[in-house]
Amino acid sequence: MIAESERLFAAAQRVLPGGVNSPVRAFRGVGGTPRFIASGEGALLVDADGNRYLDLVLSWGPLILGHAHPEVLAAVVEAASRGTTYGAPTELEVRLAERVVAAFPSVEMVRFVSSGTEAAMSAVRLARAATGRTAIVKFDGCYHGHADSLLAAAGSGVATLGLPDSPGVTAGTVADTLVVPFNDTSVVEALFAARGRDIAAVLVEPVAGNMGVVPPAPGFLEALRELTRRAGALLVFDEVMTGWRVHPVGAQALYGITPDLTILGKVVGGGLPAAAYGGARALMEQIAPAGPVYQAGTLSGNPVAMAAGVATLDVLARPGMWERAERWAACAANVLTRAAARAGVPLTVQRVGTMLTPFFTGAPVTNYADAKRADRAAYGAFFHAMLDAGVYLPPSAFESAFTSTAHGEAELDAFEAAVTTAWVR
């Protein structure tokens, strides 16, 4: 029964565009009525009708400790009790910055902002200022937020809704955005041969997550590092999704690549709105007020968000915590693969760390074109069968599922039972 979700969705559509505040939430990619959530606890969600779901969305990645983790809640309550925002520096900003700098060897200084979009936009501005160049290279199907210059051949919700880019983004705005296929080193090499002197930066999700989980091909990230270094361009890793998700630190630690700039989000805010970008001191000191590159934000470094981030990273750093979430993801991937084989369903499950995507295709997915060839209708049917069985998956075939430290043996048993039920049905 979802009567209350249906009522709320009808009311929402009268006052919110599409009834939501972020497009993928509207279930357009899978059909049906989005569930309006009343609460979350650990690995579970409860909707407005009282239905309980095993959550594999986890607010699209931030909740690596699960919902309402007691230590994170305690830190948030303590911070909020002293005031929710000051528009002035706090010790909590320093503490979270110290943890980020300690975690990422490529990051000597960091600037906090309020969203991944803001972080990506600011990193691009810094790259252009530092190099004196204008062109930015991005990859087909990789999503770096909804700033105009980066909303070209994006994945995520743009892909789900079937929009090539977005109305309102002018040709002039994206004229300096050069889009190439993910995992295609030869095309990137040719682009640098032709335009290398114009390129300020290459911006990449080191593990793509907004076309579904697509890992880098062997040698791909290494080639990007070498090409950018040789051309005097910057390599920017968008680790909004992969930071603390594909490795206890991030993709740059997993693959041994040192980018010039790193974009962070999701986990770094512990479930509250926060993101960051960082890099070498010489680069970051070009940002105002230390340097001439302007960027500001009223709620940047918000003390409540900083408290949530510090608490989350402190808990996650304990021995075995991250491995618990990763182990659950590996088991879930195996469950899906075995069940699909028994049912004779073509399925390729791709996983890196605590991120995974089931693609309804019999072939590996290496880029956005491959992802679009997967059977989205089959994913939609599977999504609803799993939802009926009590598992909340991403309502889009182009997104990653996530696991948390709150996912344990009981939740794995429930997941396996749901998968079995979904394919039997």
303-316 and 70-81 are packed helices; what angle lies between their axes, rounded to 10 degrees? Answer: 150
Largest CA distance in the chain: 62
What is the Cα–Cα distance from 25 to 35, expressed in whole angstroms?
A: 9
Least Cα distance to 278 among 216, 228, 234 occurs for: 234
Residue 47 appears among annotated catalytic residues: no
392 vs 5: CA distance, rounded Å: 15
Catalytic residue from among 47, 140, 198, 266: 266
> How far apart are alpha carbons 169 and 151 in whole angstroms?
8
Residues 167/112/286/100 CA torsion (nearest 10 deg): -120
Q: Are 99 and 110 in contact (CB under 8 A)?
A: no
Annotated catalytic residue, options 53, 143, 368, 392 = 143
To the query of whether residue 372 is one of the catalytic residues in this protein, the response is no
Cis ω before 289 (30° cut-off from 0): yes
Counts of helices then strands in the chain (DSSP H, E): 14, 14
- H helices present in 142-250, as ranges: 156-160, 185-195, 220-231
From the candidates 140, 198, 238, 260, which is the catalytic residue?
Answer: 238
Q: Are strands 135-139 and 199-204 parallel, antiparallel or unpaired?
A: parallel
Let me know if 266 is a catalytic residue.
yes
Catalytic residues: 143, 238, 266
